[in-house]
Structure 1
C-alpha cells in the first residue's frame, strides 16, 4: 500500500494591531470613495445603507435616523455572537465611513462621470473595501454583521448571502429609480458580492484579528 503524505494544516497568523488599523483605514477610504461615485450618478447601493436610503426616499424620514434604527438589532447580534472586539471595530468603521464620505466630496471632484464606469469602479471599490474589513473581523453594520456570522457559524458564503439581500433591496427600488439606474445598481450589487464570494471563502484566508 502506498504511503499517504500527511500535509500539516497551515498555521493561523494573528494580525497585528497596526495591520488591523491600516486595513480599517484603507477599507473605509475605499468604501467612502465608492459611495461618492455612486452618489454622483444617482445609483443605489445594497446592504443596510441601501435599505435605509431607499426608505428615506419613500418616507422622507432622514437617512441617518433610519440607518441608526435598522442597525440596532445587528449590533446586538454582533455583541452576542461575534464578540465585543468585532462590535467596537464595526462602530469605528461605520464612523470612519461617515466621516470620510463627507471629506471625500471635498477632496475629489468629477467634471464627467459615465454611469457604467461609475458602476464598475464604485462597486469594485466598495467590494474591495468590505473585503479588507471582513478579513480583519470588522463589519460595516447591518447585513454585513449577519453575513459574517452566517459564514462563520454555518459556512454560508458572505458574498452570496449579501447578494440575495442586495437584490431584494434593489427590487424594492423599482418604483423609485430610473430604469437605467436600477439596472446599473443591480450590476453594481453583483460586482460587490461576487468580489466577496470569490475572495472571502471559508478557510481560504487564515489570518485572524
Structure 2
C-alpha cells in the first residue's frame, strides 16, 4: 500500500571498553566511592558490605582502615576467581586498593585533603550512600567491584537474574544489625537508612540487560 512505511530494526554494535576506558572508569569510580565512605565515617555511620564491616571494626580497633579493608575482602576473591574470572578479580583488587588509599588520603589534614570533620549521622548516611552507590555502579560497568557482598550479588545476578542490589541489601542488613554492639538506636537507624538508599540506587540502575559491554580483552561483561 502506498504511503505505508515500516521501520526495520537496525542492530547496534555492542559497546566496547578499551583498556584506557577501564582505567579511567575504575579511577573515577574509586574516587567517588572513597568520598562516600569518608562522609559515612565522618557521621559515625555504618554502611553495608565489607566496607561497612571495615568501618565497624575501624571504630573499635587501632588497625588502619586500608589494612582491614583488604584483609576482609580476601575470602570473597577466592569465590570470584571461578565465577567471574581473573580479570574481574584483578580489577576489583585494584579498586579496593585505590579506595583504601583515597579514603586514608581524605582524612589527612592539609594539602587540600578534607581532614577530620564531623557530620550529622542522617546527613552523612544519605549523602554518603548516594555518593558511594554511584561509584559502585561505575565500577560494575567496568568489570570491577568493591569485593565482599558486591561479588556475591553479581554472581547471583549472573546465575539467577536476581538484582545485585537486593542481594547486597540482605548482607548489608546483617552488618547494620551488628552495629548495635557499638552504636545507639538513632545511629543504627541512620545506618539502615543509608543501606536502603544505596542498594535501591544500585538495584534500579544495575540489572540484567541494562548495560552490556565488552572489555579490551573481549570478555563479555553484563552490568
Alpha-carbon separation, structure 2, partners of 1:132 and 1:118: 21
Change (3 A) 1:109 1:56: closer
- Residue in structure 2 matched with residue 158 of structure 1 by the alignment: 164
Deviation digits for residues 82-111 of structure 1, max 9, x if unmatched?
Answer: 111111101100110011011122312476
Alpha-carbon separation, structure 1, partners of 2:36 and 2:89: 23
- Residue in structure 2 matched with residue 36 of structure 1 by the alignment: 38
Say whether residues 1:170 and 2:176 are aligned partners. Answer: yes
Q: CA deviation at 1:73?
A: 2.5
Residue 198 of structure 1 is aligned with which of 204, 210, 219? 204
Alpha-carbon separation, structure 2, partners of 1:49 and 1:108: 20
Change (3 A) 1:112 1:97: closer
Change (3 A) 1:6 1:165: farther
Change (3 A) 1:56 1:125: closer
Q: When the two structures are aligned, how many residues end up with a matched partner?
A: 205
Structure 1, unpaired ranges of 5+: none
Say whether residues 1:118 and 2:124 are aligned partners. Answer: yes
- Residue in structure 2 matched with residue 181 of structure 1 by the alignment: 187
Change (3 A) 1:173 1:204: same
- Which structure is richer in relative contact order (CA contacts within 8 A, separation 6 or more)? 1
Deviation digits for residues 11-54 of structure 1, max 9, x if unmatched?
Answer: 32111222111111111111111111111111101101222443
Runs of 4+ in structure 1 deviating by more than 6 angstroms, as ranges, are none
Alpha-carbon separation, structure 2, partners of 1:204 and 1:196: 12
- Residue in structure 2 matched with residue 143 of structure 1 by the alignment: 149
Over alpha carbons, which structure has the higher Rg? 2
Q: TM-score, normalised by structure 1?
A: 0.87
Alpha-carbon separation, structure 2, partners of 1:75 and 1:111: 33
- Residue in structure 1 matched with residue 103 of structure 2 by the alignment: 101
For the aligned residue pairs, the C-alpha RMSD in angstroms reads 2.4
- Residue in structure 2 matched with residue 17 of structure 1 by the alignment: 19
- Residue in structure 1 matched with residue 80 of structure 2 by the alignment: 78
Q: CA deviation at 1:112?
A: 6.1
Q: Of Structure 1 and Structure 2, which has the larger fraction of its residues in helix?
A: 1
Change (3 A) 1:153 1:7: farther
Q: CA deviation at 1:189?
A: 0.5
Structure 2, unpaired ranges of 5+: 1-5, 216-223
39-48 or 70-79: bigger deviation? 70-79
Helix, strand or coil at the partner of 1:207: strand
Change (3 A) 1:154 1:10: farther
Helix, strand or coil at the partner of 1:29: helix
